[in-house]
Amino acid sequence: MKWRVILEPDPETSDWAAWCPELPGCVSCGENQAEALANIQEAIALYLEPTPIDLQSGAISCEVTV
């Protein structure tokens, strides 16, 4: 799956910020563009990883494709 990623240089530190507009709060950074991209890839994978939930008795868990 492809995601848009925005890379922005920090003029004060020369580091790079990376964020994914479609995933609120999914951000990362790196010392260079390549490191920032690798770090945001990891952040996206962790963001999308399902978290376990406790369901009440009788509840049904389903999956949908969009």
Domain enclosing residue 9, as ranges: 1-32
Domain contains 23: yes
pLDDT in tens, 18-62: 999 999 999 999 999 999 999 999 999 999 998 889 999 999 988
Report how far apart the first and last C-alpha atoms of the chain are (Å, whole number): 12
Task: Specify the pTM.
Answer: 0.78
Q: Is the pLDDT of residue 16 over 90?
A: yes
Which two three-digit tokens encode residue 60?
Answer: 């049904």
Q: Is the pLDDT of residue 9 over 90?
A: yes
Q: Is the pLDDT of residue 63 over 90?
A: no
Total domains in the fold of the chain: 1
Domain contains 6: yes
Residue with the two structure tokens 């580091």: 15
Please tell me the predicted confidence (pLDDT) of residue 51: 87
Domain contains 52: no
Q: Tell me which residue of 8, 13, 62 sits closest to 37, measured CA to CA.
A: 8
* CB-neighbour burial class of residue 7 (10 A; exposed 0-12, middle 13-18, buried 19+): middle
